[in-house]
């Protein structure tokens, strides 16, 4: 039930975000993680306060699962001064380091070397933090990800490389963009443990990443986890998805983590009202956060030149 609750908070946030894009309240590129909620919910459960988390532009779910409150998060998307970055990050490049969320990144694969640095810092500052970097299947074809994986392996740093494989590298299937679609072969060849797991099962994600995190904390070096999942929406809000078939989407809806959790809870005898209440509560919480954020002042244009330098 806790996982369903956590996944619904993300799903409801994303659906509200989509609606606010439709009304023009949110402007610019927005990339939703609808269908991919199990990864962040499972993985963030094993992170400690001093650990670092770096996500991609499809990162709202990771920010929420790490503990960022919904109102300043929504305010950020809405360009409000109360946003986690005062409106400077937006949907695709926001951060909330006070909650252990060290940021999204709008450049595919760029967060991986930065995460390596966060783990490197932990070797000297006494925290021995692990750093978790999340990227999509498309980022597997970026040089920066390879450089980061090899650097972490060569220096035995506690970095967990999490690849959310939703099968679509933006608008192109990953299988059309690789010679071998066994993505875990690459990190394995660089000398680290690499596994592919069902990314729609938050508990499996939690246990797998928990084990690898524990090994990394005790000097086991980096590891790679491929989360097999799916994106139920387009690459960006407004993506007509002409590249996808109806059949494929229907199959994905069968697999997606919330429908699956509901099936499992129902089979385990949990009452339907209890399950629907989870969705209702999540939507209410998100609605309140969104209404509060909508009432917040716009980012202050007088401040646009601040913080360029120390």
Partner 1 sequence: MPEQTIKVNYSGAVNAALQRVLAEVPETLLYGEDVAKPGGVHGVTRGLWKEFGDRVFDTPISESAILGSAVGAAMMGRRPIVEIMWADFFLVALDQMINQAANVRYVSQGKLTAPFVVRTQQGNSPGACAQHSQNLEALFLHTPGLRVAMPSSPQDAYDIMVSAVHCDDPVIVFDNRTLYFGQKQEIVTGRPPAPIGGSVLRRSGQAATVVTWGAMTHRVLEAADQLAAQGTFVAVIETPWLNPFDTDTVIESVERTGGRLAVVHEANTTAGFGAEVITRVAEAGVLRGRPARIGVPDARMPAAPALASALIPDTGRIIEGLARLTADR
| Shortest distance in whole angstroms from residue 285 CB to partner 1 | 25
- Region near partner 1 per CB under 8 A, out of 9-17, 108-116, 218-226, 274-282: 108-116
* Radius of gyration, alpha carbons of the chain: 19
d(CA 181, CA 161): 17
Residue 308: how many other CB atoms lie within 10 Å? 6
Site size with partner 1, rule: CB under 8 A? 44
Backbone angles phi, psi at 256, to 5 degrees: -60, 150
Q: List, in order, residues 6 or more apart from 184 with CB less than 8 Å away.
A: 194, 195, 196, 224, 226
Q: Does 112 bind partner 1 (CB under 8 A)?
A: yes
Residue 46: how many other CB atoms lie within 10 Å? 20
Q: Does 116 bind partner 1 (CB under 8 A)?
A: yes
Q: Does 121 bind partner 1 (CB under 8 A)?
A: yes
Q: Does 122 bind partner 1 (CB under 8 A)?
A: yes
Q: Which residue from 60, 129, 235, 260 is in contact with partner 1, where contact means CB under 8 A?
A: 129
DSSP assignment of 99-150, as one string? GTB----SSTTTHHHHHHHHHHHHHHHS----EEEEEEGGGGG-HHHHHHHH
Q: Does 141 bind partner 1 (CB under 8 A)?
A: no
Q: Does 202 bind partner 1 (CB under 8 A)?
A: no
Q: Are strands 172-173 and 168-169 parallel, antiparallel or unpaired?
A: antiparallel
d(CA 15, CA 74): 12
* Residue closer to partner 1, measured from CB, 44 or 53: 53
Paired residues of 96 in beta bridges: 101
Residues in 40-69 at the binding interface with partner 1, rule: CB under 8 A? 52, 54
Q: Which residue from 85, 141, 193, 255 is in contact with partner 1, where contact means CB under 8 A?
A: 85
Q: Does 174 bind partner 1 (CB under 8 A)?
A: no
Q: Does 113 bind partner 1 (CB under 8 A)?
A: yes
**Binding positions for partner 1, rule: CB under 8 A:** 52, 54, 85-86, 88-89, 93, 95, 97-98, 102-103, 105-107, 110, 112-122, 124-125, 129, 131, 143-144, 147-148, 150-151, 154-155, 306-310
């Amino acid at each position: 039930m806790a996982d369903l609750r956590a996944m619904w908070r993300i799903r409801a946030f994303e659906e509200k975000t989509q609606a606010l894009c439709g009304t023009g309240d949110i402007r610019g590129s927005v990339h939703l993680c609808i269908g991919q909620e199990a990864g962040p919910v499972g993985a963030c459960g094993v992170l400690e306060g001093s650990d670092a988390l770096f996500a991609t532009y499809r990162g709202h779910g990771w920010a929420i699962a790490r503990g960022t409150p919904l109102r300043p998060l929504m305010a950020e998307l809405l360009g409000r001064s109360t946003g986690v970055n005062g409106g400077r990050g937006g949907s695709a490049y926001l951060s909330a380091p006070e909650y252990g969320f060290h940021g999204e990144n709008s450049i595919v694969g760029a967060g991986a070397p930065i995460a390596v640095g966060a783990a490197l810092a932990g070797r000297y500052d006494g925290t021995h933090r692990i750093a978790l970097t999340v990227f999509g299947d498309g980022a597997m074809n970026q040089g920066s990800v390879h450089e980061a994986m090899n650097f972490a392996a060569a220096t035995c740093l506690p970095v967990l490389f999490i690849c959310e494989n939703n099968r679509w590298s933006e608008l192109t299937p990953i299988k059309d963009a690789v010679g071998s679609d066994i993505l875990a072969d690459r990190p394995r060849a660089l000398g680290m443990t690499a596994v592919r797991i069902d990314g729609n099962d938050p508990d499996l994600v939690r246990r797998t990443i928990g084990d690898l995190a524990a090994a990394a904390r005790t000097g086991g070096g980096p590891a790679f986890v491929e989360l097999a999942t799916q994106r139920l929406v387009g690459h960006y809000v407004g993506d007509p998805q002409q590249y996808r078939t109806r059949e494929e989407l229907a199959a994905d809806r069968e697999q997606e983590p919330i429908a699956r959790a509901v099936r499992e809870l129902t089979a385990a005898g949990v009452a339907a009202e209890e399950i629907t209440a989870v969705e209702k509560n999540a939507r209410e919480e998100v609605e309140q956060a969104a209404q509060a954020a909508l009432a917040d002042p716009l980012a202050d244009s007088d401040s646009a030149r601040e913080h360029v330098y120390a």
